[in-house]
């Protein structure tokens, strides 16, 4: 069993732009130094050169954090240069940032969300959303699995905005997924190789784990250790080389996640599973139920 050990960080910064209006910045991934690629709102009022003050004396006394828009790319993302006083930029983000809860959770984030919106495997900070298939596990379950002789390993794929970007093209082959950073350790690669050599199977916990493993897999199915970035969009017709079984949540329509699940299980079987889940009142999305595809 292989899970994603990425940890969600408080990537949502709330502040005010020059002139006093409210502004929001969702940090996506580091660019260089203290520059970050981000989504900003209201975008039309934050041109290149605009500044935002994220300082919140009630949450972090003596600490300031400000951002300046450096550039804009073709996808509408801004490069934001952050500067802080009273602490490093990384610490300022941690103290002033908010956990970016899914948009259908219509309440402000709380201090508890910093731990509740994490899987038990979360170790490596870098995601803007939890790899939610891992939320179905706790210590008691992993202990029971180990007692059954099921090995456990983790890889890292930092979940970005591109994972959730809706499919808007008529031909799914034209859909693009933004690159996300991933790491496969020597230990994890060795564990998977030993399992396969012994006739065992690799069960991926979630679509993010699946993308990391398939991105790192050789044509033989052997998973290579290493670090990289993947923009792999798994579509029906994909030949799975590293993953034999998949545990995954029920995903939104018109998403690359649903395309991946359909590629793994077959479109009609997936649609049958969704119809059955709906008839039984299953919960969907991040905190919802899951299915094991064997």
Per-domain boundaries in the chain: 10-96, 131-293
Q: Are strands 12-17 and 51-53 parallel, antiparallel or unpaired?
A: antiparallel
CA distances from 237 to 80, 173, 264, 279 (A): 39, 11, 9, 29
Residue 96 CB contacts under 8 Å (≥ 6 apart), including other chains:
10, 13, 54, 55, 56, 59, 60, 63, 65
Q: Among 152, 207, 202, which residue's Cα sits nearest to residue 182? A: 207
CA 160 to chain centre: 5
Asked if residues 48 and 56 have their Cβ atoms less than 8 Å apart, the reply is no
β-sheet bridge partners, residue 4: 155
Asked if residues 26 and 128 have their Cβ atoms less than 8 Å apart, the reply is yes
Sign of CA dihedral 178, 38, 93, 68: positive
Q: Among 212, 221, 193, which residue's Cα sits nearest to residue 260? A: 212
CATH homologous superfamily for 131-293?
Answer: QueA-like (3.40.1780.10)
How far apart are the two ends of the chain, measured CA to CA in Å? 13
153 C-beta neighbours (distance < 10 Å), count: 20
Residue 205 CB contacts under 8 Å (≥ 6 apart), including other chains:
1, 2, 3, 4, 131, 133, 134, 137, 247
From its phi and psi, is residue 51 left (phi > 0), alpha (psi between -120 and 50) or beta? beta
Residue 44 CB contacts under 8 Å (≥ 6 apart), including other chains:
none
DSSP 165: P
CATH homologous superfamily for 10-96?
Answer: QueA-like (2.40.10.240)
Residue whose tokens read 């897999």? 217
Residue 181 CB contacts under 8 Å (≥ 6 apart), including other chains:
29, 126, 156, 157, 158, 227, 228, 229
pLDDT beneath 70, residues of the chain: none
pLDDT of residue 286: 83
204 C-beta neighbours (distance < 10 Å), count: 28
């Amino acid at each position: 069993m292989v899970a994603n050990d990425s940890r969600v960080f408080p990537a949502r910064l709330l502040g005010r732009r020059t002139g006093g209006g409210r502004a929001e910045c969702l940090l996506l991934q580091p660019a260089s130094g203290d520059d970050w690629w981000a989504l900003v709102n209201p975008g039309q009022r934050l041109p290149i050169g605009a500044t935002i003050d994220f300082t919140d004396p009630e949450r972090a006394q003596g600490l300031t954090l400000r951002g300046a828009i450096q550039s804009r790319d073709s996808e509408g993302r801004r490069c934001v240069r952050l500067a802080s006083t009273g602490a490093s930029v990384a610490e300022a983000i941690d103290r002033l940032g908010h956990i970016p809860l899914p948009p259908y959770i219509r309440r402000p984030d709380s201090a508890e969300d910093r731990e509740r919106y994490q899987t038990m495997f979360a170790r490596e900070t870098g995601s803007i959303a939890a790899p939610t298939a891992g939320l179905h596990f706790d210590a008691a379950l992993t202990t029971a699995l180990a007692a059954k002789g099921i090995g456990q390993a983790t890889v890292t794929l930092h979940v970005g905005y591109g994972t959730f970007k809706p499919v808007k093209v008529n031909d799914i082959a034209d859909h693009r997924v933004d690159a996300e950073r991933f790491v496969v350790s020597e230990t994890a690669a060795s564990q998977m190789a030993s399992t396969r050599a012994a006739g065992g199977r690799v069960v991926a916990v979630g679509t993010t784990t699946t993308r990391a493993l398939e991105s790192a897999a050789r044509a033989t199915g052997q998973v290579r250790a290493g670090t990289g970035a993947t923009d792999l969009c798994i579509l029906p017709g994909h030949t799975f080389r590293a993953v034999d079984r998949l545990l995954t949540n029920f995903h939104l329509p018109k998403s690359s996640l649903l395309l991946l699940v359909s590629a793994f299980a077959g479109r009609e079987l997936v649609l049958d599973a969704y119809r059955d889940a709906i008839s039984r009142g299953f919960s969907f999305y991040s905190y919802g139920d899951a299915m094991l595809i064997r």
